[in-house]
Each structure stands twice: as structure tokens, then as C-alpha cells.
Chains A and B, each alone.
Chain A
Amino acid sequence: MEVLSSLAAGFAVVLTPTHLFLIFLGCLLGTLFGALPGLGPINGVAILLPICYTLGLPVESSLIMLAGIYYGAEFGGRISSILLNVPGDAGAVFTCLDGYPMAQKGLAGPALALSGVASFIGGTIAIVGLTFFAPLLASVAIYFGPAEYFVLMVFAFATIGALMGSNPVKSLIGVTIGLIIGVVGVDSTTGVLRFTLGEAELYDGFEFLIVIVGFFAVSEIMLMLEHHSSEDFEMPKITRVYVTMKELLYCKWTMVRSSLIGFVVGTLPGTGASIASAVSYTIAQKISDKEGTFGKGDMRGLAAPESANNACAGGALVPMLTLGVPGSGTTAVLLGALMLYNINPGPMLFVEQPKLVWGLIASMYIGNVMLLIINFPMVRIFTKILQVPYWLLVPSVIVLAFVGVYSVNMSTFALLLSLILGVLGYFLRKLHYPMAPVILGFVLGKIMEDNLRRAFAMSGGEIGIFFQGTINYILWGLTLFILFVPMIAKMVSKRYALGKK
């Protein structure tokens, strides 16, 4: 049982007072970012990454804390969905459907408690999956050459196009824009400057922190002007903050099923919590909704998306740690964080950085238990935080983000770049371009181009190299399959509708 001994080594890394504190801090901040409407895991990681970096934390400590923010935010997103009918982040949209009606019936407390347990179960199942599945995938991934890598990226972008957002064309445009932003700077093979407009500060390309702060902090506060302040909402009374065994048993299969769905969706490159929760809610409704109670405060309708979005966070780490291809927008940011520390993500990560990988996995076991524990007594405090007025929240967010960028770059030009990208991000978001593909494209662009050129250099310009070998066949097969998934899904649902009639 090599896995278990590696995991034990991971726990040895994590079980220090500093790391336990960082996990706790990450989970706490994550819950906060998740709970605050408008701010999600990706904004939380984007704002706190520069601070982690300037703190001079070693890479495993940073990653442990940032990952805590990630899954903590999936935990916290449910709070404002249930209490205010405002999803705390994109993954919590489906939590509103049955969570808010429950709160209106006076069951706000049980709804919070049940969704907390559902999140815990989803998170835990996903980490167990990660523990056993990731090393397997990593052992296959070491056989990837440049050509296989390039085809893998093609597969990743096909998944994004097929599954993300309402409009696949816009998701793909997002990826392309990200790739183009990634091209700026010195070309690594020839040393030629590309698109730098003579600015010396652009020679190294757009720095990662500048891009994420622009896209996820600046554009976010511009959008916040349109949301209404949560002060206007009436907070429902919270009575008992626990669930009974009977209620839990009622939802047990929904939770297990949704966790598995969430994990699988999470492992697909580029698909985040929003897709995981949408799929699991739809399936739960189709299987369990016999009396038409879904959408009116059915407990299973609340448990399904909550288990799924937490499971998705664990699943999304699988391709990120084994292949260097992020499974979601937030893992794309985590991947960028690794690159910031000069760690090349990819199939060798498990071999070269066992402390980092297994420490992270072990920390997630602990973090999930911590989240479950802090969420029961502290749920009342979190609901108070929902009432933080925007006049304090918004300027604090932007100042923290800007100072973070400044402290890493020591130049105000970096702030200007963030602002420009923020305005670009604002328009993209207003025009319904999802942001996660952009960041994925940006993070993967360099790797994609390097592998493309390396593959061509190996084959002497022959394109045939991309169509050789078992791994390439499988990847192309998967790519074709994923492109047809939306069509198949449409056909199946049509059949289903006909059958019902």
C-alpha cells in the first residue's frame, strides 16, 4: 500500500502547529469569501495569493492555505444562498432552489446544518477519490511526450467548449483570449520579443498576479455596483442549527450519488462547481422527485448541489496535480501559484514534489473536518458577516488586491496593467463571456505552445507525430466524445420528455 505510506508522509508534513493554523485560517477565510455574495473561491485565492507570496511562506504552506480557501469557499457559498436567496458564488446557484424555500418555512437552521454535512460528505468522498485515483493517473502521465501534451490541451479546451457556459463559442473565445495574453513577452525558444510594445515591464509577459487581480478583483468591484447591498435583505430567524439522524438518512443516497457526480465532473478539465451542481441537481430531481417537492424546499434538492460542489473541488485537483491541467477556474489560479514558485506542474509533480502533493492531500482531510466543526458553532457569526456593508467591503477588497500586486512587482505600472485587464474583464463578463476559460487559456498557453513546438522539432516538422501512439488515440477519442456530449444529452432529454408524455 504505497498510497497509504505516502499519505502518512503527507500527514507528517501537515501536522505542525503552523500548518494546522494555516489550514484553519484558509478554511475560515474561504468560508467568508464563499459566503459574501459576489466573491467566490477564485476571487479569494486571487486576492490572498500575493499576500501569501510576500509573506515568504514556503510553497507547500501557501498551497495548503490557498486550497483551504478554495474548498472553504465551496462550503461557505451555501450560507447566503439559503438565507438571502443570493448565491455566494457560481457553484451555489442550485443551492438557492431548495435552500431558500426551506429558510422561508422556518427551517433555515436545519438547512444550514444539513448542507454543512452534505458539503462535508462531498468533500471527503472527493479527497478519498483524489488519494487513490491521482497516483494512478500520475503513473500513466509520465509516458506523456510533447505531442501527447499538446493533444491533452486540445482535449481540455474541447471540454471547456462543450461543457462550460451557455454558449460554447464564447467559452472558446475566452480560451483564445487567455492564450493570446499568455503569448506576450520573450519567446522562450528564440528570445524574440512578442507584443511587448517596447515596455520593459512586459518582457516577462503579463505577470500572473496582475492578470488574476485584474480579472477577478477589479472587474468584480465594477460589477458589484449593480448588485444591491445585502443590507436591504431581511435575515430569516435561525432556530436549531443541527440535523436529525432521520433527515440525514433521508438524503444519504442523494449525497453519495451527488458526491460521485461532483468528483467525476471536477476531474474533467475546465469544468467547475457550477456544472457539477447543475448536473447533480438535475439528476437528483429526475430520480427522487416523485411528489414534485423539488424547488419547494426538498432536503434532497439542497443536499445534491452542496455535496456536488464540494466534491468537485477535490476532483478538480486530480488533473491539476497529475497532468498540470487545472480542473476548474480556481485550480487554474492554484496552478499559477505553483508556477510563481518556479514549480513546473505536470506529470513529474508526484515524483519530484511528494511533500507538496501529499501534504496538500493530507491537509484537505484535516480541513474538511475543521470546516464541519467551525461551521456549526460559527454559523451565526457568518450570518452577521453577510451584513457587512458594501461601502466597507468593496474598498477593502480593491486595496488589498492592489497592494498585493504592488508588493510583488514594486511598480505602479503593474497596477495600471491590472486596471486595464479589469476593464477588459468587465466588458467580457457583461457580454456573457465566462472568465474561467480565459484564465485557463492564460495559464496553459505557454505550456501548450512549448509542447507544440517541441513536438514539431522532434518530428522535423511532420504533423503525424500528433496522431501516433495509444495515448494520442485515447485523447483524440475522448475529445471527439466530449464534443458530442451536449448533442447526446439533448437527445436523451428529448427521449425522456417523450417517454413522460
Chain B
Amino acid sequence: MEVPFSYDPLGPTAFPIALGAVLVLLSLFVIAKPQNAKFPGLNTELKTVLIVLLLFVYQLGFDFLGFLLSTALLVFCIAKIFKGTTSQAFGAGVGVSGVVYLIFSFLLEVPLPVGSLFAKLLGVSS
């Protein structure tokens, strides 16, 4: 990062470089004296990965499927992971997505995506 002229003697690079140096120095302490981290069993770890995947897919599908459908699906899956029965998870999915949609689009007047999929099916431009 080169800046031709500046009245600022440090420039934009000094601070990040200093931070990097501090981080390296501090890391040496951690490397010298490692502490064991406790991770839960494989089963829970897989579930954790699954949640991250679900959230990743959620943000991918957010605009395409629309807020209501994608949220209902997400809530259903997470509720199942947290040991809800199928009917409880279904209720949570419909309930949470519905209530949040109502709060945001009517109370807060924030437009949430209808979903380009439905927009195409219904022939409306979104």
C-alpha cells in the first residue's frame, strides 16, 4: 500500500503491521504453554456443523425462496436438532416465521424478500 503524499507520518500500514507483530508475539506465549480445549462428543460436533451448514444454505436461499419459506424450513430443522418432535418443529417453523414476518413488514415496515421463485411463478416482478 503506497500513498504518494500524506501529512500523516505513520500512514495506513503502520497500525495493522504493529497489530500483526503484537499478535505474533502473544501467540508465542500460547504456543509455549498450550492449554487443552474440550470439544464435545462427535455427535454434538456433527450437529454443530449441521447448524452452520443450515445457516449457510439459509442465507443462500433467502432471496430465492423468500423469507417465509426459508425461515420456516430453517426453524423446522433447528427445532428438530434441538430435540423437538416433528409436530412441535412444524409449529415452531410456521409460528416463528409468521410472527417475525408480521413484526417486520407491518410494525417496522422493513420489506423482507418475497422470493424470486414465487415472484416468477406468480408473474410479479420482485
Question: B-contacting residues of A (Cβ < 8 Å)?
Answer: 51, 54-55, 167, 169-170, 172-173, 176-177, 179-180, 183, 187, 189-190, 192, 194-195, 218, 221-222, 224-226, 229, 389-392, 394-396, 398-400, 402-403, 406-407, 412, 415-416, 419, 422-423, 426, 430-432, 449, 452-453, 456-457, 460-461
Q: Which range holds the interface residue count of chain B?
A: 35 or more
Q: Quick one: CB contact mask for B56-76 with A, threshold 8 Å, 1 for yes?
A: 101110110001000100110
**Is B52 touching A419 in the complex (CB atoms < 8 A)?**
yes
Which residue of A195, A225, A415 is within 8 Å of B47 (Cβ)? A225
- How many angstroms from the CA of A195 to the CA of B38 in the assembled complex? 32
**Is A407 touching B108 in the complex (CB atoms < 8 A)?**
yes
- How many angstroms from the CA of A183 to the CA of B15 in the assembled complex? 9
Give chain A residues whose Cβ lies under 8 Å from the Cβ of B125: none
> What are the nearest 7 A-B pairs in CB distance?
A391-B84, A415-B59, A395-B75, A461-B9, A187-B12, A391-B79, A407-B110
In the complex, 6 of the A-B residue pairs with CB atoms within 8 angstroms, ordered by the A residue number, are A218-B55, A225-B47, A392-B88, A394-B78, A395-B78, A422-B52
Q: Contacts A403-B100, A431-B37; is A395 near B92 (CB within 8 Å)?
A: yes
Give chain B residues whose Cβ lies under 8 Å from the Cβ of A169: 26, 29-30
B80 CB, nearest partner CB in chain A, Å: 8
Give chain A residues whose Cβ lies under 8 Å from the Cβ of B97: 399
A399 CB, nearest partner CB in chain B, Å: 6
> Considering only CB atoms, which chain A residue lies closest to B51 in the complex?
A222
- How many angstroms from the CA of A402 to the CA of B110 in the assembled complex? 13
**Is B1 touching A402 in the complex (CB atoms < 8 A)?**
no
- How many angstroms from the CA of A449 to the CA of B92 in the assembled complex? 46
Known: A412-B59, A431-B37. 11 other contacts (CB 8 A): A177-B23, A180-B19, A396-B96, A402-B55, A403-B71, A406-B112, A407-B104, A407-B108, A419-B55, A422-B55, A426-B48
Give chain B residues whose Cβ lies under 8 Å from the Cβ of A412: 59-60, 62-63
Which residue of B10, B12, B38, B84 is within 8 Å of A456 (Cβ)? B10
Give chain B residues whose Cβ lies under 8 Å from the Cβ of A452: 10, 15
- How many angstroms from the CA of A224 to the CA of B78 in the assembled complex? 12
**Is A176 touching B26 in the complex (CB atoms < 8 A)?**
yes
> Considering only CB atoms, which chain A residue lies closest to B108 in the complex?
A54
- How many angstroms from the CA of A460 to the CA of B7 in the assembled complex? 9
Q: Is B39 an interface residue (CB 8 A)?
A: yes
**Is B96 touching A395 in the complex (CB atoms < 8 A)?**
yes
Report which residue of B7, B8, B22, B82 has the largest number of chain A beta carbons within 10 angstroms of its beta carbon.
B82
Question: A-contacting residues of B (Cβ < 8 Å)?
Answer: 1, 3, 6-12, 15-16, 19-20, 22-23, 26-27, 29-30, 35, 37-40, 44, 47-48, 51-52, 55-56, 58-60, 62-63, 67, 71, 74-75, 78-84, 88-89, 92-93, 96-97, 100, 104, 108, 110, 112
Report which residue of A221, A391, A423, A432 has the largest number of chain B beta carbons within 10 angstroms of its beta carbon.
A391
Report whether over half of chain B's contact residues are helix, strand or loop; otherwise say mixed.
helix
Which residue of A176, A403, A415 is within 8 Å of B112 (Cβ)? A403
Q: Contacts A54-B108, A226-B44, A403-B112; is A179 near B81 (CB within 8 Å)?
A: no
**Is A189 touching B1 in the complex (CB atoms < 8 A)?**
no
**Is B1 touching A390 in the complex (CB atoms < 8 A)?**
no
- How many angstroms from the CA of A390 to the CA of B78 in the assembled complex? 10
- How many angstroms from the CA of A460 to the CA of B8 in the assembled complex? 8
> Considering only CB atoms, which chain A residue lies closest to B79 in the complex?
A391
B116 CB, nearest partner CB in chain A, Å: 12
> Considering only CB atoms, which chain B residue lies closest to A55 in the complex?
B108
A315 CB, nearest partner CB in chain B, Å: 28
Which residue of A183, A229, A415 is within 8 Å of B16 (Cβ)? A183
- How many angstroms from the CA of A176 to the CA of B26 in the assembled complex? 9
Give chain A residues whose Cβ lies under 8 Å from the Cβ of B30: 169-170, 173
- How many angstroms from the CA of A172 to the CA of B1 in the assembled complex? 27
> Considering only CB atoms, which chain B residue lies closest to A179 in the complex?
B19
Give chain B residues whose Cβ lies under 8 Å from the Cβ of A54: 104, 108, 110
B99 CB, nearest partner CB in chain A, Å: 9
**Is A221 touching B51 in the complex (CB atoms < 8 A)?**
yes
> Considering only CB atoms, which chain B residue lies closest to A415 in the complex?
B59
> Considering only CB atoms, which chain A residue lies closest to B101 in the complex?
A403
- How many angstroms from the CA of A171 to the CA of B16 in the assembled complex? 19
B89 CB, nearest partner CB in chain A, Å: 6
**Is B71 touching A399 in the complex (CB atoms < 8 A)?**
yes
**Is A222 touching B52 in the complex (CB atoms < 8 A)?**
yes
- How many angstroms from the CA of A236 to the CA of B108 in the assembled complex? 40
**Is B39 touching A430 in the complex (CB atoms < 8 A)?**
yes
**Is A403 touching B75 in the complex (CB atoms < 8 A)?**
no
Give chain B residues whose Cβ lies under 8 Å from the Cβ of A399: 71, 74-75, 96-97, 100
**Is A391 touching B92 in the complex (CB atoms < 8 A)?**
yes
Q: Contacts A180-B16, A407-B108; is A190 near B55 (CB within 8 Å)?
A: no
B84 CB, nearest partner CB in chain A, Å: 3
> Considering only CB atoms, which chain B residue lies closest to A454 in the complex?
B8
Report which residue of A183, A195, A396 has the largest number of chain B beta carbons within 10 angstroms of its beta carbon.
A396
Give chain B residues whose Cβ lies under 8 Å from the Cβ of A453: 8-10, 15
- How many angstroms from the CA of A170 to the CA of B33 in the assembled complex? 11
A103 CB, nearest partner CB in chain B, Å: 26
Report which residue of B51, B83, B88 has the largest number of chain A beta carbons within 10 angstroms of its beta carbon.
B51
Which residue of B20, B63, B83 is within 8 Å of A391 (Cβ)? B83
Give chain B residues whose Cβ lies under 8 Å from the Cβ of A55: 108
- How many angstroms from the CA of A392 to the CA of B78 in the assembled complex? 9
Give chain A residues whose Cβ lies under 8 Å from the Cβ of B92: 391-392, 395-396
A182 CB, nearest partner CB in chain B, Å: 9
- How many angstroms from the CA of A423 to the CA of B71 in the assembled complex? 20
- How many angstroms from the CA of A172 to the CA of B62 in the assembled complex? 37
Give chain B residues whose Cβ lies under 8 Å from the Cβ of A173: 23, 26-27, 30
- How many angstroms from the CA of A389 to the CA of B82 in the assembled complex? 9
